[in-house]
Structure 1
């Protein structure tokens, strides 16, 4: 995928971006360092701090890592890790299975790509980076012949879980998956009853999934380590909004 570029008139700093796949341990460490800065330092997760200043887990060795760089500085400014069905089989599970029972999706395992650890440097959150990453995911899915994109999207519990509850109630009415795609959390986040004065504030990642045509597939899981409620989301490519399909698949072919 080396050499894919884009421009963003609203942000001069984002006008020189390149998309690639990590191919060396050094590049993977660059990804892990950005994730550490955003997830652990940025969210104040003191319990996860470490001397190496890297966010990593056992899945990193099995995943492919998409990278967006600022070509002027060569710094990694965005990343997404993706897990192919073959790699998930080698590892023995998808990352999501740490939080959800995916038994109902067993028949789709060979056609699912999992995306996670979406991470963008705070100075590059104008939209161009995430669009490039999604184009990279589209190319990856085409390469592996996958028809379903799955992953967990997190909602912070810093407000006591009020926003997570509001988001779940809103999406349960409008974007809940058909029953045959429902999954169950291993540790469910306790959802409070809906309140008329509690309007959901959607995180950008969830907004992006929803605009593309994704579902939530059941109640959220409680991620105590990252102090979040995690929504299991699925995007069948057959449901991909036509506007986004034209963009992502065109960019994917270019990639």
Structure 2
């Protein structure tokens, strides 16, 4: 089990801490944060059994990494983590609702999936929140001995997809080898899009790439979230040295 010393993970500018959700009320608070961000702010259509909370069939099998503002008890950032043993129980990874992951089958025993990353609007200018989430993920991977991290990084399609097409065009240097390629079930029609002259890379995508993640294939179109989802794979052994120093060594 992940043990995070919250005191070591605090930040001076705000009294923040990171940990795994330890009870149902903390999980629910993370799911409510996800609803506020994805549904209320971004207009996603969420098929959830509880209005006001983003809940799907994977949640019960996931660990929920949360950042809390300890001054007011508010959960201000979250990730959900699906470890390999839980993925077996639930019949696969969330990514498999969007991609054929067949070429990654040999990695499954050591492959953790992350997703549903979000930060409260009032805290998005505070770099400490994403730093805490990354250090919490690093510790989780180290404690579990997991070697591979997969996930989908989303790019908004409010402009019709042209920014997503430009981002895709600029990622050729970061493609995974052919043996790690995955294939979208509903691909974004890149051939119909004109890449913007200047693309705006979402911070989450930028963070993954800087850490050393590789893009495993073309983006899928998620109509419920109205996003282009990029499949990413981060091999812990290839983690960028700067990130290793900043996050992994801090998490050890």
TM-score if structure 2 supplies the norm length?
Answer: 0.93
Cα distance in 2 for partners of 1:16, 1:32 equals: 22
Is the contact between residue 48 and residue 56 of structure 2 (CA under 8 Å) also seen in structure 1? no
Cα distance in 2 for partners of 1:49, 1:198 equals: 38
* Structure 1 residues 211-239: Cα deviation after superposition (integer angstroms, max 9, x where no partner): 10111111011101111110000111122
Q: What is the aligned length?
A: 247
SS in 2 for 1:61: helix
Alpha-carbon deviation of 1:44?
A: 2.4
Cα distance in 2 for partners of 1:32, 1:194 equals: 34
What do you get for the CA RMSD once the two structures are aligned? 1.7
User: 1:7 aligned to 2:6?
Assistant: no
Q: How does 1:146-165 map to 2 (within 5 A)?
A: 146-165=146-165
Is the contact between residue 68 and residue 133 of structure 1 (CA under 8 Å) also seen in structure 2? yes
Cα distance in 2 for partners of 1:144, 1:50 equals: 31
Q: Where does residue 178 of structure 1 map in the other structure? A: 177
Alpha-carbon deviation of 1:98?
A: 0.5
Cα distance in 1 for partners of 2:42, 2:160 equals: 15
SS in 2 for 1:192: helix
Alpha-carbon deviation of 1:122?
A: 1.3
Q: Where does residue 84 of structure 1 map in the other structure? A: 83
Alpha-carbon deviation of 1:124?
A: 1.1
Cα distance in 1 for partners of 2:163, 2:87 equals: 32
SS in 1 for 2:115: strand
Cα distance in 1 for partners of 2:164, 2:93 equals: 24
Q: Where does residue 57 of structure 2 map in the other structure? A: 58
Residues 73 and 232 (structure 1), Cα distance of their counterparts in 2 relative to 1, 3 Å cut: same
Alpha-carbon deviation of 1:252?
A: 1.8
Q: Where does residue 187 of structure 1 map in the other structure? A: 186
Q: How does 1:17-32 map to 2 (within 5 A)?
A: 17-32=16-31
Q: Where does residue 240 of structure 1 map in the other structure? A: 239
- Segments of structure 2 that go 5 or more residues without pairing to the other structure are none
SS in 1 for 2:191: coil
Cα distance in 2 for partners of 1:197, 1:79 equals: 31
SS in 2 for 1:245: helix
Q: Where does residue 200 of structure 2 map in the other structure? A: 201
Cα distance in 2 for partners of 1:130, 1:83 equals: 19
Alpha-carbon deviation of 1:88?
A: 0.6
Residues 24 and 201 (structure 1), Cα distance of their counterparts in 2 relative to 1, 3 Å cut: same
User: 1:67 aligned to 2:66?
Assistant: yes
Is the contact between residue 40 and residue 48 of structure 1 (CA under 8 Å) also seen in structure 2? no
Is the contact between residue 84 and residue 144 of structure 1 (CA under 8 Å) also seen in structure 2? no
More deviation, 92-101/136-145: 136-145
